[in-house]
Structure 1
Amino acid sequence: MELVGPILEVIKCFGGLTCRYLDNHRKLEENMSKLRRRVDGLNIRKKDIELRKDAELCSGKVVKKEVERWLEDVEMINIEMQTIEQKLCDVSYFSRGSLGKLVCRKIKGVKEIHQQGKFLDVVTVAVPPTRGVILQTTDLEGEINVNEQIWEYLMGDDVAMIGVCGMGGIGKTTIMKHINNQLLKEAGFDKVIWVTVSKELNVVKLQEDIASACDMKHLLPKNELERATKLIDILKTKRYVLILDDVWKQFSLLQMGIPEPRHNGSKLVITSRSIDVCLSMGCKVLKVQPLSKEESLNLFLNHVGQGVLQDPALKEIVKLVVDQCSGLPLAIVTIAGSMKGVDDVREWRNALYELCERVKSVRGLDTEIFKCLMFSYDRLGDSKIQNCFLYCSLYPEDYTIERGMLIEKWIDEGLVDECGCRQAMQDRGHSILNRLENNCLLEKGVHSRGVKMHDVLRDMALSLKKANPRFMVKAGMKLKELPREHEWTADLEKVSLMDNSISEIPPGISPKCESLSTLLLQGNHEMERIAEPFFERMPGLKVLDLSYTDIRYLPNSISYLENLEALVLRSCLKLRHVPSIAKLTALRKLDFYCTAIEEVPHGTEMLINLTYLALDSENLKELPMGILPKLANLQYLVTTSYVRGEEMAKLRKLEIFSCLFPDPQDFQKYIKSMAGARPINYSLLVGSYGVFEFFRHREPYLVWLQFEQHEIHKNVYFFKCRLRGDQDPVVLPSDLEALHVEECHDLLSLSYSFVFHDRVNDLKHCYIWQCNGIQCLLDLSYSSCNLLQSIETLHVRRLQTLRRLVRVGVPAMSTSQGPTLPAIFSSLKVFYLESCSSIKKLFSIELVQGLQNLEELEVVCCEKMEEIITSEEEEEGGGGNHVGGPMVPETTTFVLPKLKKLRLLNLPELKSVCSSGVTIHVDFLDYKIHHCQKLKPFPSCFCISGEKVFV
């Protein structure tokens, strides 16, 4: 009888567990619906909080840490929900109870997080606003008196509006950049606002720039009168210094939205070439004087180098050359750039002679600086380089030109020597750009990818083209209509109307411009129509750019342009129809990137001179058979349409290549034909679902869209295609840099489905996502190839059947060429593992030895993960990577010298980071461990800088 009580208790216990298990089994769908409702409610709250957050961020605040943490928790719940939904699709009858238990636990967790999201007060906190932007500038040589006088007026109460005037290139902007930076460091103004005005005053842009500097652009209304009133209200709340650089004409401050600066100690400074403009706006005028001879020589030597004075014969000539610059900083710097590195006395003497004989009077320009800038222009020597410089004047004033885009334009114009291949032309273009920068004829933009043309140099360039043939440049002037027909004179060579607001080219305009070679209309975003006769009398047109317009079709008169070499319609998102281009046999470039065309234009197969072809349209699924083989001169091909491997094999000159193959067989036909010359850049998608489905909502799509930035990309993507079965393994290019595999459910391992060449040192990045059949990444039973040895980034996501990273079999171990395990991940820097529900042990001791370059390790939502680093032997069907061999010592110490970041998130079964007795030495560790309920701190330890830290 004494045993009855305990037995009944045991029966009761098991009975309760059994009942709960059966309840979870029976109510799985019901509980799943409840969980979905809870998660939907959580996401609704998340959206509400994000709306509050966005509204409060507009006031210059930052998100609270507790709110950031809560949003991370919600995001984690969404990731877990995806995993649970996947399990529900694959759950067996006997696993329903376990899954039901997980769903019940998650319902409680979601409820808790929902409660935590009741933020009663604001979700952001205020931060000290930025007072302005530090500007890049050169050393200030001379102008000390003006600089000090400006500062005295700014610090005093007597003068509120200051006008800094002087001829172009004398240093007004340089002085004010130093003042701007000094104000930010020392003075007590709320805001220091810098706005470049330029010759063509754009009221809307000026207002927006001022409001942006105050972090209030979002408050500006669209109505012009209301916008000025609102801007006045914004500025009245602050004590500011407003610097308007390069003002060409007088305007009303109040109509612009700038209040009288005297009201609260605010100040206004304008720089202008005209003293009359400064006076008419009520400014106290300070005129910038040329540099003294001593200051001029110092500035010149700073740029040309002090070494020129070492030769006594050069000393006097150098001084005379500097004298010819008339104390103008821009002239001094430009000529110094042209003479840098020259040590031949005769060349210096010749330079002096040329400067003295230079034409000293040119209408519309300051004569003193013109002769100096013309000297630097002439010293370029090569007429093609000079024309490259002149081409920059076609862009709007103060425009930052992206380097790659500019070089592409030079290639279109034939200004870069035909070098036989695009890479050589690109290199030549960069060389020319560097020379123009080194000669100070172009300056670096706000970022390293851009260049700018000084407005004085732009004026000089445009003045040179006033003689025949000439330019008509009205770029960035907010034109709403095309220039009148009488302005389209017969001698025009290049016309630039880019970045305006021209809405159409109406009927009745058909300019007779037989010499016109370049027409740039890109950036007229509102342009929807080009009337039929417009191109009829432009027989010499070679370059036509209509990019970033809203045109829906091209007129039939495009067929008159039989000398056209470049037709650019990039990002014409509404363009659907293009007439026959069969007569445009001179075309070398055809760009339909990001358009809506529904078919390849008629006559494309006739373009035998074509070297550049971009076709990107969601409406164009496949390139018709027979077209590509006729375009044998293609060097550049980017398309989101399907191509055939046997056709691609005939394009032997390709250097840049991006396309889709419908299946691995077509891909193989192309890869096996790639003997000899290979593309420099390629990005290839294999699979029948299309690039738009694959990259939709995915970050890599940005890489695809920016493919032509002339950086090296060698990527292959496999998406929803067969990678095993009765098919041979897929042979990959030997120079492949990044491999992406997604939703290829019959993939068992990389080594089973792919053939890697012996030389795999280029393969740096590997992404394996949502492949339900894969059990291990690398199976050395099939191959001894060390294909992961060069991998630096490894992302593994949603592999439900993955049990181990590496499986080592007898064949590999008996091969002398097979790699030892520590070598497999020897280059790995970043490893990310997410939602792999079957893996229990991540790294074995042997694998850890090879992780000497590992910098970041992140493991997320792997519900069965028990241990990150294990010393246990591999069990059949388990998750370890141990290969047998000698017994592991009771105490094992490893050094991971580069490990800096560790993230372990939502690992409910994780018991330890490392097996007992294992110590990892690191120099520094930023770690985050979250939702790992079973993790015990004492078995897992890191030794950081000699001090043991438990995590």
Structure 2
Amino acid sequence: MEVIGPIFEVIKCFGGPTCTYIDHHRKLEERMNNLRRKVNDLSDRKEDLVLKKEAELRHGKVVKKEVEYWLEAVEKVNTDMEKIEMKFHAVSYFLRGHLGKFVCRMIEKVEEIHQKGSFPDGVAIDGPPATGVMLPTPNLEGEIDVKEQIWECLMGDEVGMIGVCGMGGIGKTTIMKHINNRLLKESEKFDKVIWVTVSKELNIFRLQKDIADSLKRSLPENDELQRASALKDILEGTRYVLILDDVWKRFSLLEVGIPEPTLGMGRKVVLTSRSIEVCQSMDCKVIKVQPLSKAESMNLFLDHVGHNVVQDQNLKDIVNKIAEQCGGLPLSIVTIAGTMKGVNDFCEWRNALTELEERVKSVRGSDVEIFERLRFSYDHLKNPKIQSCFLYCSLYPEDFVIEKIALIENWIDEGLLDGLRTRQEMHDRGHSILNRFENNCLLERATTWNDKEGVKMHDVLRDMALYIKGHQFMVKANVRLEELPSEQEWTASVEKVSLMQNSKVIEIPPHISPECHYLSTLILQKCGLERIPESFFKHMPGLKVLNLSSNSAIVDLPNSISNLKNLNALILASCCRLTYVPSLAKLRALRKLDLYCTKVAEFPHGIEMLQNLRYFRLESEHLKKLPIGILVKISHLQCLLVALHLRGEEVGKLRKLEYVTCSFCDMQEFKKYAESAQGKWPTSFNFQVGPYVNFYAGFSLDLKEIKKRVVLSNLTIEKCDDGVLPNGLHTLCIKWCDDFKCFSNISLFGKATDLKICQISGCKGMECVVDLSLSSCNALHNIEELGLFFLQNLCEVVRVGVAVENECTSHAPTPPAIFSSLKQFHMSFCSRVKKLFPVELLQGLQNLETITVYICEEMEEIIASEENHKGEGTTFILPKLKELQLYSLPKLKSICSSGLVIPADSLQYLYIVRCPEVRRIPLSLPLVENGQPSPPPSLKEITVGRREWWELVEWDQPDAKDVLSPFIRYYW
């Protein structure tokens, strides 16, 4: 064989296909590693997609066919990968070139599938439309006459358009929320109740989309006339009430696609507006909301401040006068009452009355009067920094739900939470401030589009905040700007500018150079910017926060950024085409640098000079390693969130590190980190250990999301030191570690006794999770969530046997106690498992709430049959089960044997699709007084494959199928 090398050198001279063959031959190992990495990334994306899919299914949506096809394509890739691995280990010397060529083609195929798996428009489409959405409503004081007038107009045939008008904060929206909910509960006259918030800046495109979304329908993407025609066709086919909240100016219903509400056709439109002229111009029956009476004002005030304040007669008189000063406006009453809640001092109440009286006397004009009343609550925040935290919320668009964590991070960038030692203390302070705002009714609690905790600012309070700041704030967020404000609008006094979410602003004029010497915050987030001229930042010497995130078209930044010496935060996250960042050497004040999801090709020059840097986030496919010595020079980091291989010793010396996401190339580097850290682990960490960087690692700063997580990938587990894993480890992921056979014989996991989540995927050697003939391993004793994915040789979860003492545990629990804390179990693509849980384990599954089993071809039973069971009596199992999801299990015959029954008292979701052999669903429904079964009160949805299968399925309770039929949704 030694002669082969020189012969190949000679053959190179012939060029062409021969050279290509040689290249394939020599680089086979390199390309196999590349393929493994890409298949690994593809599988990670698939796992993320499966989780999204499951979430969408739980919300009543239907997974798109293209997503199902993509998942099947990934499944085929994994099957093909197994065959390639077998060929690779057995390939002869002379066939390496052929295999190398095939591997190259496979890499291209995997890249193509990976690219198609982004699904920016989501993985599911809406299922059957809902009648409407029940809205959270505060108690409604007064307004009985107005409510009844609106209700009579809706129930009668004389009025088609209703306009509910009144000043801001008078309760129009609250009244209509009560009407919305009453329609859903009481009226059968309408098929749909549609609620849409219009807001100050009318956006026809968004209005059309919101109406269509409420009906679970879609519209053409671009042409506004086609969209209007399509929406009109949809609406004409149903009876509905359309509630348009917060309308500021007249618009044509037909231009939007809303049919004229012809009498007798079962179509009504209600709009709320501050302007009676708007209501009249749209031919509405006008119903005006009047201020509350004195008695109603007092009742509402006491409901929020507490009735105990009127026990003292002297105090009662003052409280009554303060309620009167609120002008009968529910928003003012609730906000001021929130401010005074808990105050018992007579002098403080008397002072509050004096302040309010002076404010109302000093102004004229309804809006200004409202603002001055509300400003009382703002002034009573006392602390200027807390007041600034409140005012900052007005930089967001109207009616925008602000994610709490993101808002607190922005407050930190602004220096509003300074004076605290750690970032966790800053987040704690931020949450405390948000709680105060919510308790004082200055912000309301809300949920973001992706189900995160958020807050929302009432539009009147936002107007009040902007009134307070006057010319110091220039806010034009999400107002459909088509170009940047003119240079004259950038006044010398402006301190903060927010132009976020104006996607049509694609360029900044080349010679514009606003003279804003006091400008400290500039937010250009989610615009459509393609480039920024050098002159733009020339006269902004005081700029401290520059947010350019989510400008997906911008490629490079002007060099003038390098001269912003006072800059504290440079936020460039999700500028997904950004390749160049200018020198940062002069930005010595910089505390935050966010380069997440960019394409920067090299590390910005001067990053090692940023000794004040506290937060560094970076992910770019072009960068794999951090240059040696940089971390030592930016040693004050509190947050290090990077998709990079780092040196363990350097990371370990970052003594102030609290949040960290990073990779170590092997276990040796991870061990160096553990030794250098000297037992001082960060508050929250997400470590990946292995040769490949996972670009889908977590980058959140939310403690609830990062937790304490370690990912072991492509490693030899058996050689790992048991002292490496940290105490208190919360989440452990093991991927593509082929020597990993089960937990019971690996000493590495002996100390991971606090583990709550464990996910194992792609480990070819794994045959069981726990082998009781060795030990049960205490690492899983407290586990709450277990996920098993792509384990081609897994035969059983628990191998039942006699437990013995070994180095993993000296007190192996009895079989029922192994998973006594388990709440969620997920399994997919484990093709050899036939029986999921042995019957011996049942007593230890008392806390199990979720079982998800997807695409396991050999699965025959979920709970293995009890051989000695004679069919005598009934044994209830899994008492807390909330979700059972079984998908594509072609050989599954039984969920459990006939003597075992699952009580359905807690059941929320049942999902059985592509399980053709299942004939019995072993659920026991709760019984009503007459002994008949009834649906569980928690039940939300049952999804099955086809109607034919559902008709054949058997239940232990004869009437169960009829009782559950209203909850059925068919997958096909």
Do they superpose with TM above 0.5?
A: yes
Could you say if the C-alpha distance between residues 361 and 505 of structure 1 is closer, same or farther in structure 2, counting changes exceeding 3 Å? farther
* RMSD of aligned residue pairs (Cα, Å): 4.4
Give the Cα–Cα distance (whole angstroms) in 1 for the partners of residues 463 and 322 of structure 2. Answer: 23
Task: Give secondary structure in 2 for the equivalent of 1:628.
Answer: helix
Shift of 1:343: 1.9
Give the Cα–Cα distance (whole angstroms) in 1 for the partners of residues 372 and 812 of structure 2. Answer: 71
Shift of 1:745: 1.3
TM-score by length of 1: 0.77
Task: Give secondary structure in 2 for the equivalent of 1:465.
Answer: helix
Which residue does the alignment assign to 2:154? 154
Q: Which of 813, 823, 840 is matched with 1:829 structurally?
A: 823
Task: Give secondary structure in 2 for the equivalent of 1:688.
Answer: coil
Give the Cα–Cα distance (whole angstroms) in 1 for the partners of residues 675 and 821 of structure 2. Answer: 28
Which residue does the alignment assign to 2:247? 247
Task: Give secondary structure in 1 for the equivalent of 2:290.
Answer: coil
Deviations 1:910-946 (A, max 9, x none): 999999xx9767545989798798x999xx9999999
Q: Which of 763, 769, 786 is matched with 2:755 structurally?
A: 763
Could you say if the C-alpha distance between residues 840 and 378 of structure 1 is closer, same or farther in structure 2, counting changes exceeding 3 Å? closer
Give the Cα–Cα distance (whole angstroms) in 2 for the partners of residues 187 and 667 of structure 1. Answer: 64
Q: Which of 455, 466, 486 is matched with 1:462 structurally?
A: 466
Shift of 1:330: 1.1
Q: Which of 493, 497, 518 is matched with 1:495 structurally?
A: 497
Could you say if the C-alpha distance between residues 324 and 187 of structure 1 is closer, same or farther in structure 2, counting changes exceeding 3 Å? farther
Q: Does 1:568 align with 2:571?
A: yes
Q: Which runs of 5+ in 1 are unaligned?
A: 1-53, 93-123, 696-700, 873-886
Give the Cα–Cα distance (whole angstroms) in 2 for the partners of residues 246 and 908 of structure 1. Answer: 53
Give the Cα–Cα distance (whole angstroms) in 1 for the partners of residues 841 and 171 of structure 2. Answer: 62
Which residue does the alignment assign to 2:168? 168
Give the Cα–Cα distance (whole angstroms) in 2 for the partners of residues 247 and 856 of structure 1. Answer: 44
Read off the aligned partner of 1:767 and give its amino acid letter: Q
* 2:744–2:808 CA contact under 8 A, matched in 1: no
Could you say if the C-alpha distance between residues 238 and 753 of structure 1 is closer, same or farther in structure 2, counting changes exceeding 3 Å? same
Give the Cα–Cα distance (whole angstroms) in 1 for the partners of residues 183 and 677 of structure 2. Answer: 61
Q: Which moved more, 1:180-189 or 1:294-303?
A: 180-189
Which residue does the alignment assign to 2:602? 599
Q: Which of 633, 636, 641 is matched with 1:638 structurally?
A: 641
Shift of 1:209: 2.3
Q: Which of 602, 605, 617 is matched with 1:614 structurally?
A: 617
Shift of 1:297: 0.8
Give the Cα–Cα distance (whole angstroms) in 1 for the partners of residues 492 and 151 of structure 2. Answer: 53
Give the Cα–Cα distance (whole angstroms) in 1 for the partners of residues 767 and 462 of structure 2. Answer: 63
Give the Cα–Cα distance (whole angstroms) in 1 for the partners of residues 512 and 73 of structure 2. Answer: 62
Could you say if the C-alpha distance between residues 355 and 558 of structure 1 is closer, same or farther in structure 2, counting changes exceeding 3 Å? same
Give the Cα–Cα distance (whole angstroms) in 1 for the partners of residues 922 and 253 of structure 2. Answer: 66
Read off the aligned partner of 1:458 and give its amino acid letter: R
Which residue does the alignment assign to 1:735? 728
Which residue does the alignment assign to 2:324? 323
Q: Show the 5 A alignment for 1:251-270.
A: 251-262=251-262, 264=265, 266-270=267-271
Task: Give secondary structure in 2 for the equivalent of 1:551.
Answer: coil
Could you say if the C-alpha distance between residues 487 and 856 of structure 1 is closer, same or farther in structure 2, counting changes exceeding 3 Å? closer
Deviations 1:605-662 (A, max 9, x none): 1111111110011111111111112111111111111111111111111111111111
Sequence identity (%): 55
Read off the aligned partner of 1:736 and give its amino acid letter: L
Deviations 1:37-93 (A, max 9, x none): xxxxxxxxxxxxxxxxx9xx9xx99989xx99xx9999999969966984897599x
Q: Which moved more, 1:345-354 or 1:420-429?
A: 345-354
Read off the aligned partner of 2:718 and give its amino acid letter: R
Q: Show the 5 A alignment for 1:535-554.
A: 535-549=537-551, 550-554=553-557
Give the Cα–Cα distance (whole angstroms) in 1 for the partners of residues 517 and 416 of structure 2. Answer: 21
Q: Show the 5 A alignment for 1:400-415.
A: 400-415=401-416
Q: Does 1:789 align with 2:781?
A: yes
Task: Give secondary structure in 2 for the equivalent of 1:192.
Answer: strand
Task: Give secondary structure in 2 for the equivalent of 1:682.
Answer: strand
Read off the aligned partner of 1:390 and give its amino acid letter: L
Task: Give secondary structure in 2 for the equivalent of 1:286.
Answer: strand
Read off the aligned partner of 2:500 and give its amino acid letter: M
Could you say if the C-alpha distance between residues 862 and 675 of structure 1 is closer, same or farther in structure 2, counting changes exceeding 3 Å? farther
Shift of 1:346: 2.0
Which residue does the alignment assign to 2:558? 555
Could you say if the C-alpha distance between residues 290 and 819 of structure 1 is closer, same or farther in structure 2, counting changes exceeding 3 Å? closer
Give the Cα–Cα distance (whole angstroms) in 1 for the partners of residues 892 and 191 of structure 2. Answer: 52
Shift of 1:208: 2.4
Shift of 1:822: 4.3
Read off the aligned partner of 1:418 and give its amino acid letter: G
Give the Cα–Cα distance (whole angstroms) in 1 for the partners of residues 273 and 307 of structure 2. Answer: 33
Deviations 1:879-931 (A, max 9, x none): xxxxxxxx99999998745364778888899999999xx97675459897987
Give the Cα–Cα distance (whole angstroms) in 2 for the partners of residues 936 and 61 of structure 1. Answer: 24
Q: Does 1:716 align with 2:710?
A: yes
Q: Which runs of 5+ in 2 are unaligned?
A: 1-52, 89-123, 928-932, 934-953, 958-972
Shift of 1:370: 2.6
* 1:870–1:914 CA contact under 8 A, matched in 2: yes
* 2:659–2:685 CA contact under 8 A, matched in 1: yes
Which residue does the alignment assign to 2:9? none
Which residue does the alignment assign to 1:579? 582
Give the number of the structure whose alpha-carbon radius of gyration is greater: 1
Deviations 1:793-814 (A, max 9, x none): 2233444555664576765399
Q: Which moved more, 1:552-561 or 1:920-929?
A: 920-929
Deviations 1:201-260 (A, max 9, x none): 2222223223333444x3346233444444444444444433322222233444444443
Give the Cα–Cα distance (whole angstroms) in 2 for the partners of residues 282 and 139 of structure 1. Answer: 31
Read off the aligned partner of 1:283 and give its amino acid letter: C
* 2:745–2:808 CA contact under 8 A, matched in 1: no
Q: Does 1:518 align with 2:511?
A: no
Read off the aligned partner of 1:824 and give its amino acid letter: I
Deviations 1:451-470 (A, max 9, x none): 11111111111111126xx1
Read off the aligned partner of 1:180 and give its amino acid letter: N
Which residue does the alignment assign to 1:648? 651
Give the Cα–Cα distance (whole angstroms) in 2 for the partners of residues 407 and 504 of structure 1. Answer: 30
Shift of 1:197: 2.1
Q: Show the 5 A alignment for 1:49-60.
A: none
Could you say if the C-alpha distance between residues 336 and 187 of structure 1 is closer, same or farther in structure 2, counting changes exceeding 3 Å? farther
Deviations 1:465-510 (A, max 9, x none): 126xx11111111111111111111111111111112111121101
Shift of 1:597: 1.0
Task: Give secondary structure in 1 for the equivalent of 2:470.
Answer: coil
Read off the aligned partner of 1:428 and give its amino acid letter: R
Read off the aligned partner of 1:766 and give its amino acid letter: C
* 2:759–2:787 CA contact under 8 A, matched in 1: yes
Deviations 1:697-730 (A, max 9, x none): xxxx6xx2556575452221122222235x6457
Task: Give secondary structure in 2 for the equivalent of 1:351.
Answer: helix
Could you say if the C-alpha distance between residues 608 and 648 of structure 1 is closer, same or farther in structure 2, counting changes exceeding 3 Å? same
Give the Cα–Cα distance (whole angstroms) in 2 for the partners of residues 259 and 666 of structure 1. Answer: 67
Q: Which moved more, 1:199-208 or 1:445-454?
A: 445-454
* 2:639–2:658 CA contact under 8 A, matched in 1: yes
Could you say if the C-alpha distance between residues 305 and 582 of structure 1 is closer, same or farther in structure 2, counting changes exceeding 3 Å? same
Give the Cα–Cα distance (whole angstroms) in 2 for the partners of residues 272 and 220 of structure 1. Answer: 29
Task: Give secondary structure in 1 for the equivalent of 2:778.
Answer: coil
Which residue does the alignment assign to 1:898? 879
Give the Cα–Cα distance (whole angstroms) in 2 for the partners of residues 156 and 617 of structure 1. Answer: 61
Q: Does 1:352 align with 2:353?
A: yes
Read off the aligned partner of 2:653 and give its amino acid letter: K
Give the Cα–Cα distance (whole angstroms) in 1 for the partners of residues 895 and 547 of structure 2. Answer: 59
Q: Does 1:662 align with 2:665?
A: yes
Q: Show the 5 A alignment for 1:232-243.
A: 232-243=232-243
Read off the aligned partner of 1:796 and give its amino acid letter: L
Could you say if the C-alpha distance between residues 770 and 410 of structure 1 is closer, same or farther in structure 2, counting changes exceeding 3 Å? same
* 1:404–1:710 CA contact under 8 A, matched in 2: no
TM-score by length of 2: 0.76
Could you say if the C-alpha distance between residues 63 and 360 of structure 1 is closer, same or farther in structure 2, counting changes exceeding 3 Å? same
